Structure 1
């Protein structure tokens, strides 16, 4: 004894319109008129095929759901009543499915670090749970028929790898399906937890990139000056990295505008200050490294203090340039290794009377001795700053060991002790 349905998906399941076929073979000839077969309590159509009998019932939908019951009553040719048959010999059965399939829970997410966004190459998953096992799944994600994974009892995940052909914006989906018996359930095209995934395949950009310093010379910087990089993004970002002179910085943001700043120090390398900007939008699309300004601006860093060499100190004394008396002029000659923005010279504790070539090198400062100075070796002091504001070490000595001794004390009186005459007549 065996039972099955004509369901095209699964012969152990029957839905409205399917035929349920009960086939049996008696051990001895039967009185055909005595055979009565019911399925689900309803009479069947009985046919014979050789020694086999076939009882058929077309499901109307009024039959009870679940495993269909059946009975076979019969007599042999001698009129003996056989034992009623209510089970198969091969454990076959037909389950009458009267409950349509339904998707109960749906969510969508991506494998992006932010699961609500996707970029090209990301996978988008639509996960759903049904009220029963499903068949004939047709899952459309972003307009493309998608594969799916079976995640366990009545749980499935459709997935699609995003590419340049997919439309930007909120990703759409649709799920059509049947149950194992072929019964169609309502399509699912929205989530039950309000989850969404936005697709973004447009690379972000930065523009209005420029660099400046707070130095009075905006295109130069010295030790302690602040170098700033300004830029604007084309869209919202989830990550931005700015590097100035090998230091990673967090920029200050206002709207889509950014400013990154760095205080320059003595460990930084002299020359043009380098920078890079890398920005990722909300989906993780990157600008790549931006290393050039849009307006050609840049800042030159000078972290090297200026030097004076040679430095020489002489006087106009007629007898010895290393000596001086009242009225002599003292000359302090020196050369800088770079242009200076500030220069102060003091000779004998007084500001120099004048400095030649104040805006270029070499320099000459002088002072005329008027007696207000202290007698002895004349001190001097040179205070100087380069164009970007780096101060040089104050110079108080020469490089050629020259010096000036100021002498305002006349020699002591002397007497002639003895006069000797040699030769001639006195």
Structure 2
């Protein structure tokens, strides 16, 4: 090995011997090198792009950085490295074009990047399999050393964590309903640890609490600006392996919560009396005044006052109700006064209803008629 020696002996046509030549006239030379590059072991394998998780190839990764240690050997300058990969027990396959060794690579850990498509094209690439990498190093003369297989291995995990069960509930007395100010909770459990989680409820960001054992709850207080109807939610996360899941928006137990922010209304509301005069528009002491009303939705409770007295409300079915009140001589004369207040199933309270919807009215007259200026 070493510099290739040569000697040129020559003479002219007259037989004069020239001075033997043992060096080039332009300082060129050839070095004979039969020593292969030093043994090496492929270093760290690092999936790149997307969500990076040590030792994992996930569905967001787009490439891999591979470390190959390069010795302080000048014959390696302008040499090259060839990378090979394999899946499980399959054979090694090349991972692309040779990577040139430049002077700055000497005595360093050279990082070589491989495109994700090439990784995923390896024979046997599948969920749960292992990626292995090895390399061949060539020096400038072409001597080759096959390095030891990578010190690290990469597990293929492209499946996001599963999420079940998923349930939604409200802190309203009726847990399937919610009004303004009620807290709606979405609870869920995942099959793996999560590193990032977002939940929206009714289109708004929810407060997430980890409960341990991969169990979570997300809470949101309903506001007046939220849309009425079945409350929508959306769960998104990144699991510990870096795989994302988006669009988990249905419960596994068929639970749902309906948001109702509208105060209940009554229509029609009418009043009459059992006095036979004037079609029930007047009343005297001992007459019974009856108020009928119909709710446009199911009610949780009703409350009524007639002529200053709290009275009971009779449920007639089909969201129809009746109030009966017997007048006494102590009641004040004039138009019969009343107040109705109802609460719907979610807890919304109506405005105070004090007038009829058809302008019906009952006047209370408790004055005994007198005759004056009677002649015979």
TM-score by length of 1: 0.70
Which residue is 1:118 aligned to?
Answer: 57
- Residue of structure 2 equivalent to 1:398: 356
Q: Which is further off, 273-282 or 100-109?
A: 100-109
**Aligned CA distance change for structure 1 residues 239 and 151 (closer, same or farther; 3 Å):** farther
Deviations 1:42-70 (A, max 9, x none): xxxxxxxxxxxxxxxxxxxxxxxxxxxxx
Match of 1:69 in 2: none
Pick from 199, 221, 225: which aligns with 2:178? 221
Does 1:93 find its partner at 2:29? yes
Is the aligned partner of 1:137 residue 2:81? yes
The worse-fitting range, judged by mean Cα deviation, of 261-270 and 376-385 is: 261-270
User: For each residue in 1:196-238, what CA deviation from the matched residue of structure 2 results, as whole angstroms up to 9, or x when unmatched?
Assistant: 8654222322111122222222223233322222211121233
Which of 306, 310, 321 is matched with 1:347 structurally?
306
C-alpha deviation, 1:296, in angstroms: 1.8
Q: Any idea what the Cα deviations from partners look like across 1:251-272, whole Å, max 9, x if unmatched?
A: 3223311222233334433332
- C-alpha spacing 1:287/1:252, structure 2 compared with 1 (3 Å): same
1:4 maps to none
Tell me which residue corresponds to 1:247. Answer: 204
Distance 2:255 2:190 in 1: 18
2:41–2:150: 8 Å Cα contact kept in structure 1? no
How far did 1:305 drift? 2.2
Structure 2 residues not aligned, in runs of 5+: 88-92
- CA–CA distance in structure 1, aligned partners of residues 260 and 179 of structure 2: 5
Deviation at 1:174, TM superposition (A): 2.5
Residue in structure 1 matched with residue 255 of structure 2 by the alignment: 297
Is the deviation greater in 341-350 or in 166-175?
Answer: 166-175
Distance in 1 of aligned mates of 2:290 and 2:99 = 93
- Number of equivalent positions: 350
Contact 1:239–1:281, Cα closer than 8 Å, also in 2: yes
Distance 1:101 1:113 in 2: 35
User: Structure 1 stretch 376-385 or stretch 318-327: which is displaced more?
Assistant: 318-327
Rounded Cα–Cα distance in structure 1 between residues aligned with 2:83 and 2:39: 15
Cα contact 1:206–1:287 (8 A) shared by 2: no
1:367 Cα deviation from its structure 2 partner: 1.0
> Corresponding residue for 2:8?
24
User: Using the alignment, how far apart are the partners of 2:320 and 2:161 within structure 1?
Assistant: 53
More RCO (CA 8 Å, sep 6+): 2
CA distance in 1, matches of 2:86, 2:62: 13
| Correspondence for 1:313 | 271
1:367 aligns with 2:367: no
Which residue of 2 is the match for residue 66 of structure 1? none
Match of 2:114 among 148, 159, 163: 159
Q: Radius of gyration: which is bigger?
A: 1
* Distance in 2 (alpha carbons) for counterparts of 1:89 and 1:276: 79
| Match status 1:275 vs 2:214 | no
Q: 1:380 to 1:263 in 2, by over 3 A?
A: same
Question: How far off its partner does 1:189 sit?
Answer: 4.5
1:109 aligns with one of 46, 54, 66:
46
**Runs of at least 5 residues in structure 1 that lack an aligned partner in the other structure:** 1-13, 32-75, 420-426
User: TM-score normalised to the size of structure 2?
Assistant: 0.78
Equivalent residues of 2:4, 2:29 under 8 A apart: no
Structure 1 pair 360–91 and aligned structure 2 pair: CA distance change class (3 A) = same
Across the aligned residues of Structure 1 and Structure 2, the Cα RMSD in angstroms comes to 3.4
Contact 2:42 2:150 in 1 (8 A): no
Cα shift readout 1:282-329 (whole Å, capped 9, x = no counterpart): 344333422322222222333332210111122222324222222111
Using a 3 Å threshold, how does the CA distance of structure 1 residues 196 and 253 change in structure 2: closer, same or farther? farther
Cα distance, 1:364–1:215 mapped onto 2, change above 3 Å: same
